[in-house]
Structure 1
Amino acid sequence: MSPSSGPPVIFDSQRRTARLERSEKRFAGADFLHARAAQNAVDSLDALVREWPEVADLSAHPGPFATALADSDAAARVGPVKTVGGRGERAGPGNAPLALPDQSQDLIVSLMSLHWANDLPGALTQIRRALKPDGLFVGTLLGAGTLKELRAVLTEAELEQRGGAQARVSPFADGFDGAALLQRAGFALPVSDVDRLTVRYPDLFALIRDLRAMGETNVLTGAGRPLTRGIVARAAQLYAEKFGEPDGRIPATFEIVHLAGWAPHESQQKPLPRGSAKMRLADALGVKEQTGEE
């Protein structure tokens, strides 16, 4: 790889921006994932007794966080929430320099946007640099289990009718990698948690309508040939056959990865140096230590 080469371009930023723009008028009818992510972020702030005067929201849809915050105990401790960047910048985090000075924010929030980043570690690093020392980042992104049913039936239907299949659902990050991603970007005290939920729909077409209203439809680069009506109809049939429930509805899995990390500061708790433990692990656990001689 040459020195000028950057990370691979997984997503088409122009198509992503256009789809996000088209979703604006319908978003309120399909904002349940964003509302859930926003409430979790606000719950995290409620549990921390401190103030955040300078606050930036990098979410593609910034409304849910402000709505959840307004009804919380934390509202009095959080300054005015600034929506940062244009729709294009929020649609594809990290594609352009973050429109925030270094060490300028006490709190940065990014909800349901980072799974569209071509360079996720780079986007997180930009966020960490924009935080003041001991500033907090709270974010969410869709995880690897998201839309696993849809991925399976689209692949099978396209294989049947074309003899080959292309990726039609985004590759999402593994939730178990969340804390490691934050640590790689330079955050201290990283925390990651996975929230899985199943949403039931009357059919595949209702699911697709919600995804369009969220602005979450496929924008993978090199998407190639579009799906035909026949392939989509076959996918709907397979979905009902393989995953349909007794009442005729179909489940769609969503996995929300919640992230939190702090910009480093000397006041933060540090891990103990290696070899400084005062008690053997076996004694702490109340078990007999096994050695290679036994």
Structure 2
Amino acid sequence: MQDPIIFDRRAVRLHRDRAAATVGSVHDILDEAAERLLDRLDDVNRSFGRALDIGGRGVVAARLRARGIETVSIDLSHSMVSRSDAMRVVADEEWLPFGPGSFDLVVASLSLHWVNDLPGALVQIRHAMRPDGLFLASMPVLPTLGVLRGALLEAEVDLCGGVSPRISPFPELRDCASLLQRAGFALPVADADTVMLAYREPLALLRDLRAAGETNAVALRRRTTPPRDLVPQALHRLGDRRPHQTVLRMAMMTGWSPSPDQPKPLKPGQFTVPLAEAIGDRSEALLRDGQPD
């Protein structure tokens, strides 16, 4: 059975081609997201020799190379990947052209949310990693752009009597760790990080989305020109707050390619102290001392 087509990958590539000339205007946002993701490397007591940067738009590769890590950057768009100062490959995230064990670090900063078969892409990423390699990824999750999504939906219902998807569907945070586990990563973790963005006017948010190559590529989108009043009405519904606040909520995902040397969770029956006894000891200590140990 063929996987459902959620995104128009040709549109994704064309949007990135166009955005290659403007993405510099949102460098600060992309760089902040990359910094927060790569900060997790500081918590790992090991070095990495060769990294794969997936869709980093020139930001991630610069940070990896500053850490002394040899880096290969890939992107669906030739124009966008040309922004990287690392070795560059035009490649589709859904069809990675790398053999097993090619990298000991893979980083995907805000770049996997336009992939149709995300579980399949994660499996390919894991196969391209050496044993005990580290995978770091960030993805927008709900409620990112929720206010804008609602404003567009309400305005289009009023104007057309129906709606067309205009913003990418985002997963819930709780889905992300299970995606890593399903793809075979060891020790999967997904936690949340939030960037608050303030704009003088709501229209500036739409300009930034376009500049970053994040305009609508949903396969079921309406292909005709939207009603002339759609955006003005949607922006009016966002209100006249100054500044306009927008939430970028990210799932920060960490997983390791399996290795025999990794620590394993204890199996049932392997615990040396019964849970009831451990809780009892803890409760007695709290009653005796009046505070946690």
Specify if TM > 0.5: yes
CA shift, 1:218, in A, is 0.9
Q: 2:165 touches 2:220 (CA, 8 Å); kept in 1?
A: no
Partner residue, 1:250: 244
The yes-or-no answer on 1:264 pairing with 2:258 is yes
Q: Distance in 1 between matches of 2:152 and 2:76?
A: 33
2:236 is aligned with 1:237 = yes
Q: Which residue of 1 aligns with 2:71?
A: 81
* Unmatched tracts of structure 1, length 5 or more: 289-294
CA deviations 1:18-75 (Å, max 9, x no partner) are 01111111111113332122112321112222221122111251x111333355xxx1
Q: Is the 8 A contact 1:92 1:113 kept in 2?
A: no
8 Å CA contact 2:55–2:75 kept in 1: the answer is no
Q: CA 1:206 to 1:255, structure 2 compared with 1: closer, same or farther past 3 Å?
A: same
Q: 2:3 aligns with which of 7, 21, 30?
A: 7
Deviation at 1:15, TM superposition (A): 0.8
Structure-2 change in CA distance of 1:36 and 1:282 (3 Å): farther
Give the Cα–Cα distance (whole angstroms) in 2 for the partners of residues 199 and 229 of structure 1: 27
1:67 corresponds to = 62
Against the structure 1 CA distance between its residues 86 and 170, is the aligned structure 2 distance closer, same or farther, given a 3 Å change threshold? closer
Contact 1:201 1:251 in 2 (8 A): yes
8 Å Cα contact 1:16/1:91 also seen in 2: no
Q: Matched residues in 2 for 1:91 and 1:227: separation? A: 32
Q: Which amino acid aligns with 1:22?
A: R
**Equivalent of 1:110, from 108, 111, 122?**
108
CA deviations 1:79-135 (Å, max 9, x no partner) are x111135527978621xx201111221111111111111011000000000001111
Q: Distance in 1 between matches of 2:91 and 2:191?
A: 23
Q: Distance in 2 between matches of 1:17 and 1:29?
A: 19
For residues 52 and 267 of structure 2, the distance between their equivalents in structure 1, rounded to whole angstroms, comes to 35
- Which amino acid in structure 2 is aligned with residue 65 of structure 1? V
Quote the residue 1:292 is aligned against: none
**Identical positions, percent:** 35
Confirm or deny that 1:35 pairs with 2:35. Answer: no
> Which stretches in structure 2 are left out of the alignment for 5+ residues?
79-88, 285-293
Q: Please point out which of 120, 124, 127 is paired with 1:126.
A: 124
Which range moved further: 22-31 or 221-230? 221-230
Structure 1 Cα separation of the partners of residues 76 and 234 of structure 2: 36
Which residue number in structure 1 is paired with residue 162 of structure 2? Answer: 164
Distance of 1:278 and 1:252 partners within structure 2: 49
1:291 maps to which residue?
Answer: none
Report the 3-state secondary structure (helix = DSSP H, G, I; strand = E; otherwise coil) of the residue aligned with 2:229.
helix
3-state SS, counterpart of residue 113 of structure 2: helix
Instruction: Write the distance in 1 (CA, Å) between the matches of 2:118 and 2:76.
Output: 19
Provide, for residues 232-256 of structure 1, a one-character-per-residue CA deviation record: whole Å limited to 9, x for no partner: 111111111xxx43xx332112111
Match of 1:277?
271
Q: In the TM superposition, what is the alpha-carbon distance from 1:162 to its structure 2 partner? A: 1.3
Q: Is the 8 A contact 1:34 1:64 kept in 2?
A: yes
Question: Is 1:140 aligned with 2:138?
Answer: yes
- 1:91–1:105 Cα change, 3 Å: closer
Q: Take 2:5 and 2:23, find their aligned partners in 1: how far apart are those partners?
A: 27
Tell me whether 210-219 or 273-282 shows the greater mean CA deviation. 273-282
CA contact (8 A) 1:92 1:116 kept: no
What TM-score comes out, normalization by structure 1 length?
A: 0.86
Q: Distance in 2 between matches of 1:189 and 1:26?
A: 38
What residue number does 2:172 align with?
174
